[in-house]
Structure 1
Amino acid sequence: MRKLFFLIFCAFVLNASYSQSKVGTVDLNFIISKMPELSGIQENLKTYGTDLDKQLQGKLEVYQNRLDSYNANIESLSEAQMISEQTEILNLEQEITKFQQNGVQLMRIKEDELKRPLFQKISLSLEKLAQAGNFSQVLSIDDNNTVVYLDPNLDLTLTILEDLGITVEN
């Protein structure tokens, strides 16, 4: 009886160990830092940043010229002209501030756009290796353990929709 119980227990433990999911991790930033394409991307970003800086310098020059002109002619301006000039100078200041804020966002967008092919390349390799290694999940260690690969067989979305009586057209 003990032998039978022991055999059943061993079979259960063995079965449970085979049914466990296999989870891996990946450091995407490290992989990208080692890819040869990164130097070209960095050069493109540097050029793009330089172009944005030139645009900002142009706006700053227009602002400074307008401010200098205002200060030089302040004595000869009427009240209405002073208000008009001050409004224009304030608008230029706001435009410069907005351009600086947008510049940061534009740099992020450009970086994402340039790195997209690298992420696609990594994604294809990751999917191939995850399937070959029988991984059910792969987590990114870069940003709060985000799932970067999930075995489609583990996705319960369609099963839940079916159980709820909801049909989904492909």
Structure 2
Amino acid sequence: MRSKLILVAICLFSLATTAQTKVGTIDSELIIGLMPETKKVLSLIESYGKRLDSSYQIKFKDYEAKVTDFRQKQKDYPENLKSLKLQELAKAEQELQQSRSNGNKLIQIKRDEVMRPLYTKLKKVIADICKAEGYAQILTISGNEFAYIDEKFDITQKVMDKLGIKIPEQKN
């Protein structure tokens, strides 16, 4: 009987301690979209994209010229030269597609680079508010990711220690 009472008391105590943790949410994308710095950042990304696009357009016009030239002269080409020209056009088309893919990746990298300071600023403000108001965790509304987690609730290091995993040192 006594052990049952102790067990019930422990359960009630653990419920009381977990009930005291505050969890909140934030729409970080809305805030980022409304930050005054965002307009400047989006302008930088747009101008970078235009520069990449102008480079792509030059390559595209060169490709179109090759295709037009081939269509006009293909009747005069012997079969082996026609085959060679078709291979060259296929290679040029593949390079054009690769150029477009690389451009998209470069724009994404640039976007991440110029948006990082905004997210860093937002993260600092979130952490300040959480510490001041006693929040343990903050979830973002878009993506259901954690925007803030009180480190005392993070068991990552304990799990890593138990598994014998070390965090590699970061090289600067």
Q: TM-score range by the shorter chain?
A: 0.7 to 0.9
Equivalent residue, structure 2, for 1:102: 102
Equivalent residue, structure 2, for 1:63: 63
**1:88-128 CA distances to partner (integer Å, 9 max, x unpaired)?**
11111112222223332222221111100000111111111
Shift of 1:72: 2.0
Q: In 2, distance between residues paired with 1:30 and 1:142?
A: 9
Shift of 1:141: 0.4
The residue matched to 2:24 in structure 1 has which SS? Answer: strand
Equivalent residue, structure 2, for 1:3: none
The residue matched to 1:37 in structure 2 has which SS? Answer: helix
Shift of 1:67: 1.1
Shift of 1:49: 1.3
The residue matched to 2:84 in structure 1 has which SS? Answer: helix
Unaligned runs of 5+ in 2: 1-8
Shift of 1:82: 1.0
Q: CA RMSD in A?
A: 2.4
Q: In 1, distance between residues paired with 2:59 and 2:21?
A: 57
What residue identity is the alignment partner of 2:92? L
How has the CA–CA distance of structure 1 residues 133 and 67 changed in structure 2, closer, same or farther, with 3 Å as cutoff?
Answer: same
What residue identity is the alignment partner of 1:155? D
Q: Give runs of aligned pairs for residues 10-21 of structure 1, distance below 5 A.
A: 16=16, 20-21=20-21
**1:43-69 CA distances to partner (integer Å, 9 max, x unpaired)?**
111111111211121111111111121
Q: In 1, distance between residues paired with 2:90 and 2:157?
A: 56
How has the CA–CA distance of structure 1 residues 161 and 94 changed in structure 2, closer, same or farther, with 3 Å as cutoff?
Answer: closer
TM-score by length of 1: 0.81
How has the CA–CA distance of structure 1 residues 158 and 43 changed in structure 2, closer, same or farther, with 3 Å as cutoff?
Answer: closer
The residue matched to 1:142 in structure 2 has which SS? Answer: coil
Equivalent residue, structure 2, for 1:29: 29
What residue identity is the alignment partner of 1:55? S
What residue identity is the alignment partner of 1:117? P
TM-score by length of 2: 0.80
**1:3-23 CA distances to partner (integer Å, 9 max, x unpaired)?**
xxxxxx9xx68x816852100
How has the CA–CA distance of structure 1 residues 18 and 62 changed in structure 2, closer, same or farther, with 3 Å as cutoff?
Answer: closer
What residue identity is the alignment partner of 1:35? M
Equivalent residue, structure 1, for 2:6: none
Q: In 2, distance between residues paired with 1:157 and 1:18?
A: 19
Q: Give runs of aligned pairs for residues 1-170 of structure 1, distance below 5 A.
A: 16=16, 20-143=20-143, 145-162=144-161, 164=162, 166=164, 168=166
How has the CA–CA distance of structure 1 residues 165 and 112 changed in structure 2, closer, same or farther, with 3 Å as cutoff?
Answer: closer
What residue identity is the alignment partner of 1:40? K
What residue identity is the alignment partner of 2:124? L
Equivalent residue, structure 2, for 1:4: none
